[in-house]
């Protein structure tokens, strides 16, 4: 465990005005998204699409890191450079998704547990040699009738803690992602309650597994109204409730917190981040680790056509820039209108 390397990596991941691109979609998820723009989901197309994102001129001003999928970390840019080295040359830290996806929890209907702990230490050793300096593990928490249960919260917290400990032993910064899903008709009050319970369970498990909070990044969902809830909370309420839940549960020793977009619209994710980052006396920096909220305009512009790379990169650069401003509390809605 190289604590100096872990400290440098964690600090760089949450550098002011920068965030993390989540480009770790599985081949199945890529296929679903590519279908929306009628692009073929071949390995070559996936490589080309990720390459256009990574190669966007100037995007390193707004990106501190990129989360890669196992396929992508083994691929190369157009000039033959392995993607991890290509990103590192631009000053962007390569990361890697290491979980194996979710399965049903036995005897807990409607709830999921994330797999991938078997063989994890060996895989982390390989990924470190390939250039990865941080990793990500996603847990899924669903809000519904009588769920989440204690079983679900603590099973996922335990898995996150075991993963985090293995990462730190390998000198890789663990990014823990306990995602409270947006799906459902629950109120924002219920979302805040579940988010707080989820984070409490997670940090208790991390402490029990001797995980160092100084070398850990939290990737969390925002406290929002369920997608089907009749009352959709406004930006200020989302910011207030999210930060309150974090302050009640996340140690001040942690280097920073990044947010997932979780199905929010591009601009909504930016507006929510901006409202939180603008708050005073935060114990840690807040920034983004978005997938769709960064990529959607680029994917729509690209559509699998080589001739559209320039337009796609322009769209991607804009979203990265907007979120870079939001991470500093400097974003304004009129900046979106100016770009349009």
Query: What 3-state DSSP class applies to 198?
Result: helix
Which pLDDT value is given to residue 339? 56
Q: Which helix (H) or strand (E) holds 287?
A: strand 286-290
Supply the residues annotated as catalytic. 177, 219
pLDDT digit string, tens, across residues 46-91:
999 999 999 999 999 999 999 999 999 999 999 999 999 999 999 9
Helix and strand numbers (H, E) in the chain are: 13, 10
How many C-alpha atoms does 38 have within 13 Å on its Cβ side? 1
Length of the chain: 340
Q: Which helix (H) or strand (E) holds 188?
A: helix 188-208
pLDDT digit string, tens, across residues 117-159:
999 999 999 999 999 999 999 999 999 999 999 999 999 999 9
Which pLDDT value is given to residue 59? 96
Q: Report residue 338's pLDDT band, with 50, 70 and 90 as the boundaries.
A: low
**Smallest Cα–Cα separation from 60: which of 82, 86, 80?**
86
CA distance 187 to 318: 32
CA distance 286 to 19: 9
Which pLDDT value is given to residue 156? 98
Contacts of 174 (CB under 8 A, 6+ apart): 134, 135, 137, 163, 164, 167, 168, 211, 215, 216, 217
Q: How many of the other CB atoms lie within 10 Å of CB of 145?
A: 7
16's tokens: 């002011």
CATH (domain of 23): 3.20.20.70
Contacts of 221 (CB under 8 A, 6+ apart): 178, 179, 180, 181, 182, 195, 259, 260, 262
- The string of DSSP letters for 9-62 reads HHHHHT-TT-EEEEE---HHHHHHHHHTTT----HHHHHHHHHHHHT-TTGGGT
Which pLDDT value is given to residue 122? 98
pLDDT digit string, tens, across residues 187-246:
999 999 999 999 999 999 999 999 999 999 999 999 999 999 999 999 999 999 999 999
| Domain total in the chain | 1
Tell me whether the omega of the peptide bond preceding residue 148 falls within 30 degrees of 0, making it cis. Answer: yes
Beta-bridge mates of residue 134: 95, 173
Assessment of whether the complete model's pTM goes beyond 0.85: yes
301-324: b or e for each residue (b if 16 or more CB lie within 10 Å)? bbebeeebbebbbebbbbbbbbbb
How many C-alpha atoms does 326 have within 13 Å on its Cβ side? 32
**Exposed, middle or buried by CB within 10 Å (0-12, 13-18, 19+), for 287?**
buried
Q: Which residues constitute the domain of residue 209?
A: 3-339
Residue 340 above 60 pLDDT?
Answer: no
């Amino acid at each position: 465990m190289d604590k100096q390397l872990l400290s440098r990596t964690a600090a760089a991941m949450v550098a002011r005005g920068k965030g993390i691109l989540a480009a770790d979609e599985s081949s199945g998820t890529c296929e679903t998204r590519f279908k929306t723009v009628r692009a073929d989901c071949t390995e070559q197309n996936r490589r080309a699409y990720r390459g256009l994102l990574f190669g966007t001129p100037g995007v390193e001003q707004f990106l501190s890191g990129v989360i890669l999928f196992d396929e992508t970390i083994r691929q190369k840019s157009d000039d033959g450079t392995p993607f991890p080295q290509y990103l590192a040359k631009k000053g962007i830290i390569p990361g890697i998704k290491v979980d194996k996806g979710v399965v049903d929890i036995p005897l807990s209907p409607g709830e999921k547990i994330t797999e991938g702990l078997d063989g994890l230490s060996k895989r982390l050793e390989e990924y470190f040699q390939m250039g990865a300096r941080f990793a990500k593990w996603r847990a899924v928490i669903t809000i519904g009738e009588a769920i989440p249960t204690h079983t679900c919260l603590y099973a996922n917290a335990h898995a996150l803690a075991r993963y985090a400990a293995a990462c730190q032993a390998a000198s890789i910064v663990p990014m823990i992602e306990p995602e409270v899903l947006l799906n459902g008709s629950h109120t924002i009050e219920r979302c805040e309650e579940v988010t707080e319970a989820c984070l409490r369970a997670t940090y208790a498990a991390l402490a029990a597994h001797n995980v160092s909070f100084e070398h850990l990044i939290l990737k969390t969902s925002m406290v929002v109204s369920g997608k089907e809830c009749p009352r959709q909370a406004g930006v200020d309420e989302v910011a207030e409730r999210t930060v309150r839940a974090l302050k009640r549960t996340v140690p001040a020793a942690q280097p920073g917190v990044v947010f997932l977009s979780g199905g929010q619209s591009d601009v909504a994710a930016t507006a929510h981040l901006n409202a939180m980052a603008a708050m005073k006396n935060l114990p840690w920096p807040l920034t983004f680790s978005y997938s769709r909220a960064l990529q959607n305009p680029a994917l729509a512009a690209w559509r699998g056509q080589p001739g559209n790379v320039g337009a796609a990169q322009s769209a991607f650069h804009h979203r990265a820039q907007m979120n870079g401003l939001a991470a500093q509390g400097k974003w304004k809605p009129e900046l979106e209108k100016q770009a349009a």
